[in-house]
Amino acid sequence: MPRFRSVVFDADSTLAGIEGVDWLARARGGDVARDVAALTRRAMDGELPLEEVYALRLERIAPTGAELAALGEAYVEAAAPGAQASLAALRTAGVTLYIVSGGIRQALLPLARHLGVDEGRVHAVPLRLDEEGAYLGVAPSPLARSGGKATVLAGLGLARPALAVGDGITDLEMRPRVDVFVAFTGFVRRAPVVAGADHELADLPTLADWLLG
């Protein structure tokens, strides 16, 4: 029997080794790339509330539908080592898997399909685009603000015991809604997140072995 009935994963720098909004910003280059990366880092380290930076970053970038599709491909290419096999093992053992992310939903769905996570269990921030794929804005979502992940988890009715895995301060906010929180440090190690976590793990195969051991 697995140790947990539900496992909730962050996406950026957890299931894949990129930060999606930063990836889009780098495609713009120059001041946009530098400014967006700095804002992301400050939000993930807990220096700024997410709601102060989320829409601002995307307004600077204004990603198109084609760019979101390219980001989706980049997520799949940057999938964490062993992610596909690890999540498959958890599914086979009867664990219900979720992705709860402050990333962009349109871009994360290809990664979810690659990893075998049901689309209905992917919770992320949708962007509004016009018929030609031009950027219109961020659709309302609790995941675009601080505390949003805990809000989403509260409405999921997770089968217990439940575990959450992530790398950022917004992931740590899930801790009150699950039984155990794991700080994932395979791509980046954030000291405040590790300090607040129940465990620290650096790769997904080790996590899967522990969950199924």
Catalytic residue positions? 10, 12
Q: How far apart are CA 178 and CA 153, in angstroms?
A: 8
Tell me the three state secondary structure of residue 210: helix
Helix, strand and coil percent figures for the chain, each rounded to 5: 50, 20, 30
* Helical residues (DSSP H) of 45-166, grouped into ranges: 50-61, 65-77, 83-92, 105-115, 148-154
Decide if 88 contacts 116 (C-beta within 8 A): yes
Residues forming a β-bridge with 184: 201
Tokens representing residue 46 in the block = 């807990």
What element of type H or E holds 192?
helix 191-196
Place of tokens 């997520």: 75
State how far the Cα of 16 lies from the Cα of 28, in Å rounded to an integer.
Answer: 21
Distance CA 209, CA 138 (A): 38
